[in-house]
Amino acid sequence: MLQCTNISKSFKRDFWAKEFIALRSINFDLSQGKIVGFLGANGAGKTTLIKIILGFIRPDSGSINILNKDWLDESVHAQIGYMPERPFYYQNLTGLEFLEYCGKLQNINKNDLEKNIDKWTTKFRIKFALDRQIKGYSKGMLQRLGFASVLLHNPKLIILDEPLSGLDPVGRKEFKDVIREVNKDGVSVFFSSHIVSDVEEVCDDVVVLEDGVIVYNGPIKKLVEENTSNEFIIKYYNEDNLESLVVSSTDKDKKMYELLKQGMKIERIERVSSSLEEIIYRLNK
């Protein structure tokens, strides 16, 4: 669906400064129909790559294919919905006026526009506020309106830059539900975040960027499985003291047997697991 090949980008902050390399030979391939998280610390280069994908800035080298076309081909843009990191909304328009305005900019015919506004504002539970001016919207409402606006032209892929920033836990949960809704409708989703837990729950795949280099690209499941240790922790009571012992999977039966023989009461045994956060932290070393 989207293939980046050897994308590199440097910035020169001023004439005398040394070039700063923001992206180094980025290669990845997004498969269609998935929710893909784009993870990286602040300054890793996520926004730069997103701007390149959208054709706002040009890479120094490399090329991108979107839906089997060169990414600078105009017909490609009609297939993409994009929400920037800091969207701007005309405060005095009502939600409905804003969506109609977006639709006009994208040359959507009146019937389709009406249908799509109805569909997405119903799904995102923002229909009730469409007659209100945007200045009265909460952050979560604004975001839902923003989502609706990028979906009006039936894009095949939506690209969202840090859509979760500034949302409270309820807003985050809502976002995840909304993303699943959109994806169920057949839209592929690519969204950036610097927070691992946001990506962990909702994504199929993840692309991890560190200082302009991709350090992992693939299923989240695989990343977690491959990095989950083969060690177990046995918790047991030695008289009244809860003690624990870390053993390898091959030793665990023997050790448990020994503990029982010594009269210990086994409380539980579990695999030593690591969160995605720990894994990514390790990857980046």
Q: Where does this chain bind ligand ADP (CB under 6 A)?
A: 11, 13, 20, 22, 40, 42-48
* Helix extents (H) in 86-168: 95-105, 110-123, 139-151
Which residue has 């985050």 as its token pair?
Answer: 172
Nearer to Mg ion (CB atom), residue 162 or residue 174: 162
CB of residue 179 to Mg ion, shortest distance in Å: 18
Nearer to ligand ADP (CB atom), residue 22 or residue 279: 22
Q: Give the strand pairing for 188-193 and 157-160.
A: parallel
Residue 219 buriedness (CB in 10 A; 0-12 / 13-18 / 19+): middle
- Binding partner of residue 43 among ligand ADP, Mg ion, none, CB under 5 to 8 Å per kind? ligand ADP
Nearer to ligand ADP (CB atom), residue 44 or residue 117: 44
Is 183 one of the binding residues for Mg ion (CB under 5 A)?
Answer: no
Q: Are 36 and 206 in contact (CB under 8 A)?
A: yes
CB-nearest residue to Mg ion: 47
Is 149 one of the binding residues for Mg ion (CB under 5 A)?
Answer: no
> How many CA atoms are closer than 13 Å to the CA of 175, on its beta-carbon side?
26
Is 193 one of the binding residues for Mg ion (CB under 5 A)?
Answer: no
- Binding partner of residue 90 among ligand ADP, Mg ion, none, CB under 5 to 8 Å per kind? none
Nearer to ligand ADP (CB atom), residue 209 or residue 256: 209
CB of residue 52 to Mg ion, shortest distance in Å: 13
Is 116 one of the binding residues for Mg ion (CB under 5 A)?
Answer: no
Q: Which stretch binds Mg ion (CB under 5 A): 47-55, 150-158, 215-223, 243-251?
A: 47-55
From CA 100, how far away is CA 82, in angstroms rounded?
17
Which helix (H) or strand (E) segment holds residue 131: the answer is none
Beta carbons within 8 Å of 194's beta carbon, 6+ residues apart: 39, 40, 41, 42, 44, 46, 162
Nearer to Mg ion (CB atom), residue 46 or residue 144: 46
* CB neighbours of residue 43 within 10 Å: 12
Nearer to ligand ADP (CB atom), residue 151 or residue 209: 209
- Binding partner of residue 11 among Mg ion, ligand ADP, none, CB under 5 to 8 Å per kind? ligand ADP
> How many CA atoms are closer than 13 Å to the CA of 222, on its beta-carbon side?
8
Taking CB under 5 A as the criterion, the residue among 47, 149, 188, 193 binding Mg ion is 47
CB of residue 44 to Mg ion, shortest distance in Å: 8
Nearer to ligand ADP (CB atom), residue 19 or residue 131: 19
Helices 95-105, 110-123: axis angle to 10 degrees equals: 130
Instruction: Give the residues across from 70 on adjacent strands.
Output: 65
Closest CA to 46 of 281, 283, 164, 209: 209
Is 217 one of the binding residues for Mg ion (CB under 5 A)?
Answer: no
Q: Which residues bind Mg ion (CB under 5 A)?
A: 46-47
